[in-house]
Structure 1
Amino acid sequence: MKTLTTLKTTFVVLFFQQISFAQETKKETASPQYTIENCVNHFELDKATKTKVGYQYWFGDKNFTHENTLKMSIVEPGKSTHAPHHHPEEEFFYILEGSASFFLDGKTVVVGPNTSLYCPPNAEHGISNAGNTDLKYLVIKMDLR
């Protein structure tokens, strides 16, 4: 019995040492050097990524912004970027142009420009184009874990 307790204790110590090492390694990973030049990002269509439903443009990805992101999505009429889903990060959508159908935990609402939509962590959510013109919106994802 004493051997089993010793093994459990050793396992716990090693487990926490591994977590501590992983956190230290993450801290040591070089952060980008922030300058006025790379902190200002003007939208350029030729740098946008084409998707099967339109395109997207990353103003800030998680490697640059420490796990937080800012992206603009443009979705063609009647389409969505993906099916309703959930993830541990909270997320905001901000409608710039067009008409969006917003799904959140079983309910749907249609909204227009200058509307923000909040998705709590782990809530099932989705957004699609409910209009007959392109839907343009910002996606702000925050990882607060």
Structure 2
Amino acid sequence: MKPTTIIKTTIAVLFLQQTYSQETKKETAQPKYTIEKCVNHFELDKATKTKVGYQYWFADKDFTLENTLKMSIVEPGKSTHAPHKHIEEELFYILEGTAEFYLDGKTIAVGPNTSLYCPSNVEHGIKNAGNTDLKYLVIKKDLR
């Protein structure tokens, strides 16, 4: 085979592989949405136990295209993890209890019906600062 024929054949194969890969991703990335799958009522027996309480995924990245919605319940005096940062923006909404919110070196205590925004790549954390369970929602956009 001539070098130009090999190059043309290689380009054609790469193009077909990329096209097939994109079509496969499209097919697998789009779950079948039904009203039954799109309505999610909290059920404690379907929650995941953690070291500090439990969490319940209302919507995870395997179902939605890029957003997640999780409810976390944290025991008094505990946190799910140490302050950290990541590329995704994150939004907390306090449902019950008292949260100590850490953002970029500062902390504040807040109660129910308060939202807390964590910008991309900014160190943040949340812990239970009260003597009852802390219950909050976590909304995150998956940027991967």
TM-score using structure 2 length: 0.83
Matches within 5 A, 1:81-120: 81-120=80-119
Structure 1 runs, 4 residues or longer, greater than 3 Å off: 17-25
> 1:24 Cα deviation (Å)?
5.0
> 1:68 Cα deviation (Å)?
1.3
Could you give the per-residue CA deviations for residues 62-97 of structure 1, whole angstroms, max 9, x where no partner exists? 010113100000000000000001111100000000
Identity %: 82
The alpha-carbon distance between structure 1 residues 33 and 114, as it changes in their structure 2 partners (threshold 3 A), is same
The aligned counterpart of 1:132 is 131
Distance 1:123 1:43 in 2: 30
Structure 1: gaps (5+ residues): 1-12
Distance 2:27 2:78 in 1: 42
TM-score using structure 1 length: 0.82
The aligned counterpart of 1:38 is 37
Structural RMSD (CA): 2.1
> 1:23 Cα deviation (Å)?
4.9
Structure 2: gaps (5+ residues): 1-10
> 1:129 Cα deviation (Å)?
0.1
Q: Which structure: larger Rg?
A: 2
